[in-house]
């Protein structure tokens, strides 16, 4: 019997904003699933951590995973993501933003300038995508880093790299910031009204990895999840529900989380409504018809992740009354 696994980060908003942002959201399918499922807490609190755990990627080594999608062979080298970001001063905070306004050619020019500056230092930068850069290192950097997904929209300073060589890498970041601040491409970005690249964020370091293959099909709007599927040689598809093709399938819905990290609550609402219509409603109908054995929904939140498992018998537990989505932020 077929079953599907759904992962959605940031479905439950912080209590301070949940009631206002969720006001008048009509989500009958989602509310029914949440009410009548078997529930348990999860220790995994982010999509990148969930993917690494599920695909058996050690030490959050995300750089060599996403490199496969970007056409770079990691060989035996140590790699980190070195993603271009914009740091915005807000009172005493340095808010990290990822939606920088550059194309691939501009990204390559910026990396060329950075490589010229650090020539002979044992590091080489590559721009495989406008928003995904990498750095190849001659040796392990002895660093503890934080995922860019964890830091986006927040003050970046508490999340700076830690470890034996942290001070060295803080210095590297400062040098890159000074180099990029006055770069002609940064000035060009400002002129056209976009966010210029004024720093990079180091994270996801590791060497070449072999991924597990826990699913046969991924249906996703997430570039990160798609990179894991590509590296694991799992079939990829846009999110749609076809009862003939969803056996042992993983659905990943990231758009709401992206919107929340960028403070766009309207887009968060629209994404949740689309999630209800495009993903959950058709799957619940298949469960009612006996074409699915189980729907597993993992809601990933910082310090409050939960798993909801709904089977066909669970649908008929009428005493478990649906509650509005905002109520789940209070648990």
Per-residue pLDDT tens for 102-136? 999 999 999 999 999 999 999 999 999 999 999 99
Question: Is residue 276 located within the same domain as residue 146?
Answer: no
pTM of the model: 0.93
Q: What is the pLDDT of residues 234-260, one digit of tens each?
A: 998 877 676 567 888 999 999 999 999
Question: Is residue 53 located within the same domain as residue 63?
Answer: no
Mean pLDDT lowest for which of 239-248, 268-277, 311-320? Answer: 239-248
Question: Is residue 171 located within the same domain as residue 142?
Answer: yes
Count Cβ neighbours within 10 Å for each residue of 205-237 and write b for 16 or more, e otherwise: bbbbbebeeebebbbbbbebbbbbbbbbebeeb
Question: Is residue 265 located within the same domain as residue 147?
Answer: no
Question: Is residue 119 located within the same domain as residue 223?
Answer: no
Q: Decide if pLDDT at 1 tops 60.
A: no
**What DSSP string runs through 19-79?**
HHHTTT---HHHHHHHHHSEEEEES--SHHHHHHHHTT-GGG-HHHHHHHHTT---TT-EE
Domain's final residue, options 138, 171, 206 = 206
Question: Is residue 82 located within the same domain as residue 190?
Answer: yes
Question: Is residue 66 located within the same domain as residue 191?
Answer: yes
DSSP 206: E
Question: Is residue 49 located within the same domain as residue 105?
Answer: no
Question: Is residue 74 located within the same domain as residue 22?
Answer: no
Show the tokens assigned to 309: 């498992």
Question: Is residue 114 located within the same domain as residue 148?
Answer: yes
Domain's final residue, options 206, 227, 242 = 206
Q: What is the pLDDT of residues 56-88, one digit of tens each?
A: 999 999 999 999 889 998 888 999 999 999 999
Question: Is residue 104 located within the same domain as residue 221?
Answer: no
Domain total in the chain: 2
Tokens 């709904």 found at: 310
Domain that holds residue 131: 59-206
Give percent above pLDDT 70 in the chain. Answer: 98
Over the chain, what is the mean pLDDT?
Answer: 93
Domain's final residue, options 206, 223, 242 = 206
Tokens 């009612």 found at: 288
Question: Is residue 311 located within the same domain as residue 301?
Answer: yes
The predicted pLDDT at position 76 comes to 86
Q: What is the pLDDT of residues 93-111, one digit of tens each?
A: 999 999 999 999 999 999 9
């Amino acid at each position: 019997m077929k079953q599907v696994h759904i992962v959605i980060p940031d479905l439950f908003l912080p209590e301070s904003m949940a009631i206002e942002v969720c006001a008048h959201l009509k989500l009958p399918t989602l509310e029914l699933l949440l009410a009548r499922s078997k529930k348990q807490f999860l220790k995994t609190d982010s999509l990148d951590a969930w993917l690494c755990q599920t695909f058996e990627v050690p030490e959050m080594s995300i750089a060599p995973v996403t490199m496969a999608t970007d056409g770079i062979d990691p060989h035996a080298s140590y790699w980190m993501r070195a993603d271009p970001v914009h740091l915005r001063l807000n009172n005493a905070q340095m808010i990290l933003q990822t939606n920088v306004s550059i194309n691939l050619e501009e990204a390559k020019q910026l990396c060329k300038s950075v490589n010229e500056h650090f020539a002979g230092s044992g590091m080489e930068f590559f721009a495989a995508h406008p928003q995904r850069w990498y750095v190849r290192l001659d040796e392990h950097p002895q660093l503890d880093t934080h995922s860019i997904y964890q830091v986006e929209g927040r003050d970046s300073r508490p999340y700076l790299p830690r470890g034996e060589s942290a001070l060295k890498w803080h210095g590297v970041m400062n040098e890159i910031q000074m180099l990029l601040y006055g770069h002609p491409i940064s000035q060009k970005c400002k002129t056209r009204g976009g966010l210029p690249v004024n720093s990079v964020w180091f994270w996801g370091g590791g060497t070449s990895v072999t991924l597990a293959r826990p699913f046969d099909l991924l249906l996703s709007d997430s570039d990160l999840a798609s990179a894991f599927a590509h590296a694991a040689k799992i079939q990829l598809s846009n999110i749609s529900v076809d009862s003939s093709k969803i056996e042992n399938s993983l659905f990943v819905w990231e758009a709401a989380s992206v919107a929340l990290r960028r403070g766009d609550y309207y887009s968060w609402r629209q994404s949740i409504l689309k999630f209800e219509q495009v993903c959950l409603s058709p799957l619940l109908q298949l469960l009612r018809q006996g074409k699915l054995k189980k729907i597993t929904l993992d809601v990933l939140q910082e310090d409050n992740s939960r798993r909801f498992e709904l089977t066909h018998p669970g649908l008929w537990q009428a005493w478990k009354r649906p509650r509005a989505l905002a109520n789940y932020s209070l648990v």
